[in-house]
Every structure is written in C-alpha cells, then in structure tokens.
Chains A and B, each alone.
Chain A
Amino acid sequence: AQSVTQLGSHVSVSEGALVLLRCNYSSSVPPYLFWYVQYPNQGLQLLLKYTTGATLVKGINGFEAEFKKSETSFHLTKPSAHMSDAAEYFCAVTPTGANNLFFGTGTRLTVIP
C-alpha cells in the first residue's frame, strides 16, 4: 500500500531563510515521487519529480528534493525563501509504472518579510 505523510500542516520562514518541507512515504514497490505547489484558487503545478536515476532532483523556482530510500523520505528544500514561495505544497507517490497518485495532506508555507 502507498501513503504519504507531510510533517507540519503549516510552516513559516523568514524571507531569505532556508525552506524545508518534510515528506515521508510508504510504498510496497519502488516509488515515483512528486512535489506540487498550489497558489490560491489555482490548480496544482508540478515542482519536481523523482522516477529513477540521480536521487537529488532539481525543480522549478530553485526548489530541490532528495530521495532517501533508507529513510523513506523525499524532503523539499530551497536555500533562500522568497515572498512568492508562499503557497501550499503537496507531496505525492505512485508505484513505478502506475497511474494513480497518493497525495499527502499538504503543507502551507508562509514567508515572513
């Protein structure tokens, strides 16, 4: 069975500070992992994904995530927060080759000026 846990429904950081959003998953088979961002009243936009190969994945807007199989984690980071990063972030997992995604409950990021 697949599931995703996002630690912290709300995270606040100061502008310019490190952003760290946590995601742990469970999967009975090798997973594909995703991070999505959602701005108010909009759909979800893909930030980055891990399928195979290099475990450090770079995405849009300066975000990156590292797949750590031993820790079953896929945490999202950005070295320096910008006001425009304020949004809700969702982690998702799917078994290799499958279609259906399993989403976490989301983390709302607030950036303090």
Chain B
Amino acid sequence: DGGITQSPKYLFRKEGQNVTLSCEQNLNHDAMYWYRQDPGQGLRLIYYSQIVNDFQKGDIAEGYSVSREKKESFPLTVTSAQKNPTAFYLCASTSEGYGYTFGSGTRLTVV
C-alpha cells in the first residue's frame, strides 16, 4: 500500500547534537512538507518542497534544514541552533491540490 513512512517514531537528542528525521513516500507525490506540533497547539510549517532539488522555508525554519535529492525522500535535520526542539514532527505529501497524506510522526525529546 502507498503511504508515508516516518522514522524513527521516537528520537532522543542530547544538547548540541544534530539529528535527522526521515520521511519517505511511495505515492509519487510532487510536494512534501514538514510540520512541528507542540502540545495543545496547531501545526506550524517548517519547510516544504514542491519539486526535487527545490525547497522553501515555512513559518519556523530557523534551526532546521532539509534536502530533496529524490522525489520519494524529504529528510529534516534539527540542528543545534534549534533551542527548543522537543516536539512532535509530522511529514506530509500531496499532489494536485487534493489534500495531504500524513506520516505517523516522530516525537523528538531533548535529554
């Protein structure tokens, strides 16, 4: 079945470390997105990519980086510059404006 796979489901980061969250889709979707979700809050857009080798900053891009070398993959790196990275991270993809398909999320915790 087609879908989006996020890994790992849980991730722990030490202070000063960079960590990378994986997002892979086999839906042949052109556009992919990363969102951050904090307790009791909505979704905040970090980065998005409409096409391979191109991506744009969302509302809260500081402290994060992405790449889009393949259509299927859109990894997110949480850098040490992100001072409050503990959150739930969601990846999504879409094609032709018919809504997003979401992954199951990665919960990142700073230890």
A interface residues (Cβ-Cβ under 8 A, vs B): 9, 32, 34, 36, 41-46, 49, 51, 90, 92, 94-101, 103-106
Contact = CB atoms under 8 A, between A and B. Distances in A.
A55 B11 CA distance: 43
Interface of B: 4, 6, 30-31, 33, 40-43, 48, 50, 88, 90, 92, 94-105, 107
A43 B27 CA distance: 17
A69 to B, nearest CB: 18
11 contacts: A42-B105, A43-B6, A44-B90, A46-B100, A49-B99, A92-B100, A94-B97, A99-B94, A99-B95, A100-B48, A106-B41
A39 to B, nearest CB: 10
Nearest to B10: A41
B102 A45 contact: yes
Among A44, A49, A90, A94: residue with most chain B CB under 10 A: A44
Contacts of B48: 100
A90 B105 CA distance: 16
Given A41-B88, A90-B42, A90-B43, A98 B97 contact: yes
B97 A43 contact: no
A32 B96 CA distance: 11
A105 B42 contact: yes
A109 B92 CA distance: 23
B104 A103 contact: no
Given A44-B90, A46-B99, A49-B98, A99 B50 contact: yes
Interface centre among B42, B88, B96, B99 (most CB of A within 10 A): B99
Contacts of B96: 97, 99
Nearest to B44: A103
A42 B104 CA distance: 5
A25 B90 CA distance: 23
